[in-house]
Amino acid sequence: MESNARRAPRVAIVGGGMSGMGLADRLSEEGLDDFVIYEKADRFGGTWRENTYPGVACDVPSAYYSYSHAQNPDWSHVFAGGEEIQRYFETFAAERDLQHRTRFGIEVLAATWSGDHWALDLSDGSRDVADILVSATGVVHQIAMPDIDGLRTFEGAMFHSARWDHGVAIDGQRVGLIGSGSTGAQILTAVAGRAARLTVFQRTPQWVLSWGNPEIPGWVRRALGRFGPLRNAYRRLVQIWFEHTFGAAVLKPGLRRDIVRWAARRNLGQVRDPELRRALTPDYEPMCRRLVLCDGYYDAIQRDDVALVTDGIVRVEPRGVRTADGRLHELDVLVLATGFDAHAFTRPITVTGLDGRTLDQEWADGARGHRTVALAGFPNFFMLLGPHSPFGNQSQITVAETQTRYIVEWAARFARGEWGPSAPSRQAMDAFNRAVRDELRSTDNIWSTGCRSWYLGDDGVPEVWPWSAKAHRTMLATVDPSEWEPVPAP
């Protein structure tokens, strides 16, 4: 895989969220300054720009959920709220002057490999070209609307949690909440006591952990701001703790998993009413679905003005929600905390690689890629947080930084003329995916213990990273040229 070319490649980054901004900054540091970010919204932030619902917060400690090279010593709490996280990202973008490298309000509609470059069709009717295309669209950008009969007939205010309408009054209203995952739990905790009546429609109960969210004292923040080594040590300590507790517990049974199980059941035990406690008790192991980390959840759901409904929803009517027991739950506001299509990745962008093969065709039997970052048949194309990336209760910033280092190394070597347009070989990608699936089938990972979640593919086999976070960093520590093959010249 050799090339005599020597020039700075043009890089197109799709998405101005956490991963796209981080990649742009690293490209600039490497001297690869010919890049553009396409962001469909009018400002940076990704999921933290989109999600502004009451109670929105990160369930990963702030010191860990931040760029390793741009740490914020001034987080107000151990777990930061969404508004504070959004300010962090906007400050980062301003300090790196990323605004002048970004085209806001423009979507990439289609990307087509044209022999030696990517041709991009944009939503404003213009076109662009790029040597390297990177999808940084994230995994929570395509909202999932529930398939409920009559949903559009509701006469009150209705919106998805990621499209929260702040012009709609919540205080003193009869509010319905569909969804009981992390977002639903945060909304419940924030809205309970404000709404005249809050009705929670639960399809699947969740395991919930709570360990407090203390405010970080001023003297600690000043010390972290003044001493870089202390700041680095604190972040590293939090990372080790997370990776060696939740990160290890999901992979194999043992003491760590037992401790998480005990903590989750103990937390549930604070529900006094045995009938309510039974309704809130999952029939699967903790962490089989994403663990909900939320303070005050069980206190909120035990309030007299909060009702938990476990009967299935039959339909939505103009005045409210009709459930299988025949009851109409009359509402003024209906909130859909129904999550996202976590398997959308770059879609709905039409991406066309070699021989006119589209990404939808490549992924007809499920999304997959090579080493979580690339895809056979799609030259000079990379994904941040692509298929089989380490998800679960981990810092996605750390995962994206690992992938960014790999992509930047590949791009730098491309710029030095070490190789020309290329893609992972089909053989290398298939070998990687076989290893992933064999490991997921053969180990005692928590995702295979008997629950339905977005971690699973259509065939019931988990589509997650089956090894440790450290193994992911080791795998992407450097580019192996033998796994890549040049594409035919145009």
Query: What's the confidence (pLDDT) of residue 153?
Result: 98
Cβ atoms within 10 A of the Cβ of 345, count?
24
CATH for 151-207+253-336, among 3.50.50.60, 3.40.630.30, 3.20.20.10, 1.25.40.10?
A: 3.50.50.60
Supply 336's token pair: 């859909």
Mean pLDDT by 10 residues, the chain (490 residues): 66 97 97 96 95 94 94 96 97 97 97 96 98 90 88 97 97 97 96 98 95 93 96 95 90 93 96 98 92 94 98 98 98 94 76 96 90 97 93 84 98 96 97 92 79 69 85 97 91
Cβ–Cβ < 8 Å for 33, 23? no
Q: CA-to-CA distance for 484 and 326, rounded, in angstroms?
A: 60
The runs of H, that is alpha helices, within 368-449 are 396-415, 426-442
Non-local (6+) Cβ contacts of 387 within 8 A are 345, 367, 368, 369, 372, 463
* Segments of the chain assigned to CATH 3.50.50.60: 11-142+342-486, 151-207+253-336
Q: Which residue has the tokens 């990307």?
A: 111
Q: What is the pLDDT of residue 488?
A: 83
- For 300-392, where are the E strands, in sequence order? 306-309, 313-317, 320-323, 328-330, 333-336, 350-352, 381-383
Instruction: Give Cα 436 to chain centroid, integer Å.
Output: 20
What is d(CA 354, CA 119) in angstroms, rounded to the nearest whole number? 13
Q: How many CB atoms lie within 10 A of CB 152?
A: 7
Considering only CA atoms, which of 404, 383, 447, 281 is closest in space to residue 14? 383
* CA distances for 69 relative to 18, 24, 26, 138, 151, angstroms: 13, 13, 10, 21, 46
Q: 472 with 256: CB under 8 angstroms? A: no
| Number of neighbours of residue 364 by Cβ within 10 angstroms | 8
As given in the structure block, the two tokens for residue 321 are 């929600």
| Neighbouring C-beta atoms of residue 304, cutoff 10 Å | 6
User: Could you please report the per-residue DSSP string of 94-150?
Assistant: HHTTGGGGEEET--EEEEEE-SSSEEEEETTS-EEEESEEEE---SS-SB-----TT
Q: Which of 363, 333, 314, 382 lies closest to 35 in space, CA to CA?
A: 382
Cα Dmax for the chain: 73
CA–CA distances in Å: residue 327 to residues 320, 348, 375, 447 = 10, 38, 50, 35
Residues 6+ apart with CB under 8 A from 3: 414, 417, 418, 419, 420, 486
**Signed CA dihedral, 204, 202, 180, 263: sign only:** negative
Closest among 443, 445, 462, 442 to 454, alpha carbons compared = 462
pTM of the predicted protein model: 0.95
β-pairing, 422-424 vs 127-130, is unpaired
Residues β-bridged to residue 376: none
Tokens (6 digits) for 258 = 């037992």
Which residue blocks in 170-254 are alpha helix, DSSP H?
182-191, 218-226, 228-244, 246-249
- Distance between CA atoms of residues 32 and 26, nearest Å: 9
Q: What's the topology of domain 11-142+342-486?
A: FAD/NAD(P)-binding domain (3.50.50)
Closest CA to 221 of 202, 212, 237, 234: 234
> Do 57 and 84 form a contact (C-beta atoms < 8 A)?
no
Question: Of 208, 284, 276, 252, nearest to 444 (Cα)?
Answer: 252
Q: Could you give the CA distance from residue 181 to residue 244 in angstroms, rounded to a whole number?
A: 24
Q: Amino acid letter at 36?
A: V
